[in-house]
């Protein structure tokens, strides 16, 4: 049996039970100006997702980060009964548990907020925790970057499902994350990330604040390749940023001019990966046509609450 649970507590609006805001956000609970900002910000749906012209003040940035942490803690609290249930011996020994964030959250990093448009660490460096049913060794931390796409292969291996030979996922044993437990790295330290321009968000920006589109290149496709601790970011297939995320996790010091040979090497690997992916894709790399979808009132309201439509 496959059970999929998706939690939304770490999405705006940030409004945890008082106990969590008191514990994790002293700025919110003790500073009237900060709490007023947070209450106002919670109602500004557009501000959750669009790039910002004016950076947050130190206080605004602090209260946003603290309230985000409060939401993470509240989410852990909600999951605690599930963890206890799964820790029963007869269940633990027969269950693969995967805890994964599908994205991080930008909170004014490089003037971006939300979780689209860019490939900075705020969005791509996410929790990934696995507990295998036959796991006997103590927990360990894998320091090398891995791709979340390998979750697919990991589940197939655990379920003993073998795709057809012509399927690109047929070599599930190679890409299962279980290989990483013994130090094996089938991707040789190369991990890829990409951020396409979300049409819904772009439409909102066009209607509300169109000058943001050229200013922050909201129509551009951004990609990143990780090689060990080095990370190259491209914008519309042009290499623009290089960081050592071990020394510079906030990506504040662009080293692209300092390592031209490394940039050339990583850019070539990234282009090869994109080319291979496009060759496999039915659309051959072209944009998928817009499709009009009719949504009932209930679905539309849920999308509005989540900030996807106005």
The number of residues making up the chain comes to 310
Domains of the chain, each with CATH number or no CATH:
190-198+205-289 (3.30.1120.10)
Nearest to 196 by CA among 257, 91, 285, 296: 285
CB-CB contact of 171 with 92 (8 Å): no
Q: Please, what is the angle between helix 32-41 and helix 58-86, to 10°?
A: 70
Strands of 5-120 (E only): list them. 97-100, 106-109, 112-114
Identify whether 13 is preceded by a cis peptide bond (ω within 30 of 0): yes
- The 8 Å CB, 24+ separation contacts for 238-247 are 239/263, 239/266, 239/267, 242/266, 245/121, 245/125
pLDDT tens for the 310 residues of the chain, in order: 888 999 989 998 999 999 999 999 999 999 999 999 999 999 988 888 889 888 899 999 999 999 999 999 999 999 999 999 998 988 988 999 999 999 999 998 899 999 999 999 999 999 999 999 877 677 888 888 889 999 999 999 888 887 766 565 556 778 889 888 877 788 877 899 999 998 888 998 999 999 999 999 999 999 999 998 999 999 999 999 999 999 999 999 999 999 999 999 999 999 998 998 888 776 655 555 555 667 678 888 877 766 566 6
CB 45 within 8 A of CB 307: yes
- 181 near 140, Cβ under 8 Å? yes
């Amino acid at each position: 049996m496959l059970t999929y649970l998706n939690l939304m507590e770490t999405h705006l609006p940030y409004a945890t039970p008082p106990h969590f805001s008191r514990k994790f956000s002293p700025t919110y609970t003790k500073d009237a100006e900060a709490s007023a900002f947070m209450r106002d910000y919670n109602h500004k749906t557009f501000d959750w997702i669009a790039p910002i012209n004016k950076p947050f003040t130190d206080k605004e940035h602090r209260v946003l980060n603290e309230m985000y942490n409060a939401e993470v803690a509240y989410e852990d609290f909600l999951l605690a009964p599930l963890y206890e249930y799964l820790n029963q011996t007869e269940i633990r020994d027969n269950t693969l548990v995967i805890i994964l964030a599908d994205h991080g959250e930008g909170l004014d990093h490089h003037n971006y907020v939300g979780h689209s448009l860019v490939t900075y660490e705020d969005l791509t460096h996410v929790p990934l925790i696995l507990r295998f049913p036959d796991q006997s060794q103590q927990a360990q931390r894998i320091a090398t970057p891995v791709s979340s796409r390998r979750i697919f292969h990991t589940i197939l291996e655990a379920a003993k499902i073998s795709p057809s030979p012509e399927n690109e996922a047929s070599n599930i044993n190679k890409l299962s994350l279980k290989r990483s437990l013994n130090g094996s790295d089938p991707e040789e330290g190369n991990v890829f990330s990409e951020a396409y321009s979300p049409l819904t968000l772009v439409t909102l920006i066009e209607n509300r604040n169109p000058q943001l589109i050229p200013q922050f290149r909201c129509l551009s496709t951004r990609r990143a390749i990780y090689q060990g601790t080095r990370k190259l970011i491209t914008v519309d297939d042009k290499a623009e940023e290089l960081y050592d995320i071990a020394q510079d996790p906030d990506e504040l010091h662009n080293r692209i001019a300092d390592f031209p040979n490394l940039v050339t090497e990583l850019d070539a690997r990234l282009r090869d990966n994109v080319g291979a992916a496009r060759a496999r894709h039915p659309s051959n790399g072209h944009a998928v046509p817009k499709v009009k979808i009719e949504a009932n009132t209930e679905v539309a309201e849920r999308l509005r609450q989540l900030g996807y439509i106005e």
